Amino acid sequence: MSKSIKTRMTIFIATIVFVLLTIFGGFLYWGLKAIIYRHFDQRLLVFADAIEDSYDPANNDFKFLEEKTENYFAARKGWVRIIDWNETILFQSDPFVKNPAPFPFEKAKELTTESYFYRQFKRENGKVFRSIILPVVNRISAEKIGWVEAGESVKEIENTLAFFRKLLLLSLPIALLFVAIVSYWMVNRLIQPVSAMAEQTEKISYTNLDERLPIINPNDELGRLGTRFNMLLDRLENAFQTQRQFLNNVSHELKTPITILRNHWEKATADNSLPDSIRRRLNTDVEELVRLSKMVSDLSLLSHSLEMHPALKREQVSLTEMLHHLVEDIRLLANQKNQSIEFLGNEPVQVNGEPRFLKRLFLNLLDNAVKYTPDNGSIRVSCSMENGHAVVCFSDNGIGINSQDLPHIFDRFYRASNVHSNNAKGTGLGLSIAKWIAEAHHGSLEITSQPKQGSTFKVKLPLVNNV
């Protein structure tokens, strides 16, 4: 499923923000943890140093030990112990942490007089403690007499960090949601001109090529795109005008000589002194000239269909009456092929339109029905009213149209593949003209057809009161 640009951009921005926030949050958490532990370790060091300083080598005693530890414990709930080089505990604060991890004598004995280290251990109840181990030095003899270990629970630190973690985890989706909403809104605003252009482009067809896209800001990228598109429409409009003009001129120029030729030949065929073979040839030529003159008049009509706003003269037309006459006219042709043709339509059906064009629409369909229905076939024309529309159907049991040809049948100059075997002459313009006339009258022309079974053309036109 293809997603819209808005959705894709929003997902893209949100993903980038998510990655950045995660990295940034990770750094923040890591930095905060380092700072808190550094403070914690510093405090342990200051305290352990103070105890070590209070060692009095003269009396082999720790001065003010009780006082210092009391102050410390009152504030921090920490603990301290002093162990001598023989691994005996000299002093242990009260309350001392229960069951501490075994003192790391080996590592402690490697310490120089100026160095120290920290260790962290977990008691069975899961509580984590961190302590500093620092050597106690006899300043007179400079020998190490033991170690002081001072520690505290890291519960408070871990609580603070856990709170920070929760804060980060909670703020991340909120920030993401906010970013997604804001970016969706922003992208939407940015591409709004594109949507407006797409909407307008959809509305533009050859009937309203004079319409142009709205340009909000001609200097930005979208504005330039719109301007270029409008220039393209200018060129298209010009090309259409030229094509129409050309069609008009060609049909106009051809009309007169073809009519003259036709008249001459028709007169010539009437001359009984001409040999039969020449007369037959002239008759075929006349047939061709008739076809040519129809094509020329179709082309002239077609040039109207390329007009942007064809000015159709509208007047009230009684379809039933018009169709009745047309069916009677075409009956002569149908009789030649021994076809039956019936008209069903008694109620008066009135539409607004140009009678000349409507006649052409119906004649094209009637003509086709006769042309593409074999001898002895039957044709049926009906006229009725349906949901505010006049519905005229032309059904025949002729050669029909196969499914590959059906989608193109209204294209100009298109003829289905089966017409050649039927030997029917034509130009391929009749249906495109018929469709254009129906649409120019705000109606429609549809077809259903089965090869070798027949076709039905359905014309729908708005009734007088619905125009």
193 interacts with ligand ADP by CB under 6 A: no
For residue 441, the 8-state DSSP code is: T
Nearer residue to ligand ADP within complex by CB, 219 or 403: 403
For residues 431 and 440, which CB has a smaller minimum distance to ligand ADP in the complex?
A: 431
The secondary structure of the chain in percent helix, strand, coil, rounded to multiples of 5, reads: 55, 20, 25
CB-wise, 220 or 439, nearer to ligand ADP? 439
**CA dist., res. 411 & res. 139, Å (int):** 111
Name residue 153's beta-bridge partners.
Answer: 129
DSSP for 127-189 reads: -EEEEEEEEEEETTTTEEEEEEEEEEE-HHHHHHHHHHHHHHHHHHHHHHHHHHHHHHHHHHH
Which H or E run contains 196? helix 155-203
320 within 8 A of 383, measured Cβ to Cβ:
yes
Which tokens in the block code for residue 363?
């004649």
CB closer to ligand ADP out of 118 and 414: 414
From 399, 437, 459, 461, residue interacting with ligand ADP (rule: CB under 6 A): 399
| 409 near ligand ADP, judged by CB under 6 A | yes
Which of 81, 360, 415, 460 binds ligand ADP (CB under 6 A)? It is: 415
Q: Which one of residues 25, 146, 193, 430 is an interface residue with ligand ADP (CB under 6 A)?
A: 430
Positions of E strands within 286-366: 315-318, 340-344, 350-353
- Minimal distance, residue 448 CB to ligand ADP, in Å: 11
CB 409 within 8 A of CB 429: no
Q: How far from 299 is each of 178, 191, 249, 306, CA to CA, in Å?
A: 62, 43, 10, 11
Least Å from the CB of residue 431 to ligand ADP? 3
From 104, 223, 374, 428, residue interacting with ligand ADP (rule: CB under 6 A): 428
User: Judged by CB under 6 A, which of 133, 400, 459, 461 binds ligand ADP?
Assistant: 400
The CB density around residue 466, as the number of other CB atoms within 10 Å, is 13
CB of 17 to ligand ADP, least distance (A): 60
Whole-number minimum distance, CB 201 to ligand ADP, in Å? 29
How many residues make contact with ligand ADP (CB under 6 A)? 22
Tell which one of 133, 154, 381, 401 touches ligand ADP (CB under 6 A).
401
Tell whether residue 52 is a contact of ligand ADP (CB under 6 A): no
Q: Kindly state the smallest distance separating residue 197's Cβ from ligand ADP, in Å.
A: 35
Residue of 427, 442, 448, 467 that binds ligand ADP (CB under 6 A): 427
Both tokens assigned to 464: 């007088």
Distance CA(9)–CA(269), nearest Å, equals: 77
340-344 and 378-386 strand pairing: parallel
82 near ligand ADP, rule: CB under 6 A: no
Toward ligand ADP, which CB reaches closer, 219 or 421?
A: 421
Of residues 279 through 338, those in contact with ligand ADP by CB under 6 A are none
Q: Which is nearer to ligand ADP, 222 or 370 (CB)?
A: 370
Q: Which of 189, 236, 195 is nearest to 214 (CA)?
A: 195
Q: Say how many C-beta atoms besides its own lie within 10 A of residue 374's C-beta.
A: 14
CB of 360 to ligand ADP, least distance (A): 11
Q: Among residues 258 and 416, whose Cβ is nearest to ligand ADP?
A: 416
Nearer to ligand ADP, 69 or 368 (CB): 368
Report the DSSP beta bridge partners of residue 352. Answer: 316
- Considering beta carbons, is residue 320 or 432 the nearer one to ligand ADP? 432
* Residue closer to ligand ADP (CB basis): 81 or 371: 371
Is residue 455 near ligand ADP by the rule CB under 6 A? Answer: yes
CA distance 354 to 372: 27
**In this chain, which stretch among 46-54, 139-147, 171-179, 410-418 interacts with ligand ADP, using CB under 6 A?**
410-418
| Cα-Cα end-to-end distance for the chain | 41
Binding to ligand ADP in span 353-392, by CB under 6 A: 364, 368-369, 372
Instruction: Tell me how far, at minimum, the Cβ of 302 lies from ligand ADP, in Å.
Output: 11
Tell me which stretch binds ligand ADP (CB under 6 A): 93-101, 171-179, 336-344, 412-420.
412-420
Q: Name the minimum Å distance from CB 208 to ligand ADP.
A: 25
Residue type present at position 187:
V
Report the nearest approach of ligand ADP to the CB of residue 451 (Å): 9
Measured on CA atoms in the order 348, 351, 352, 355, is the torsion positive or negative? Answer: negative
Q: How far apart are CA 17 and CA 23, in angstroms?
A: 10
- Residues contributing to the site for ligand ADP (CB under 6 A): 364, 368-369, 372, 396, 398-401, 409, 414-416, 419, 426-432, 455
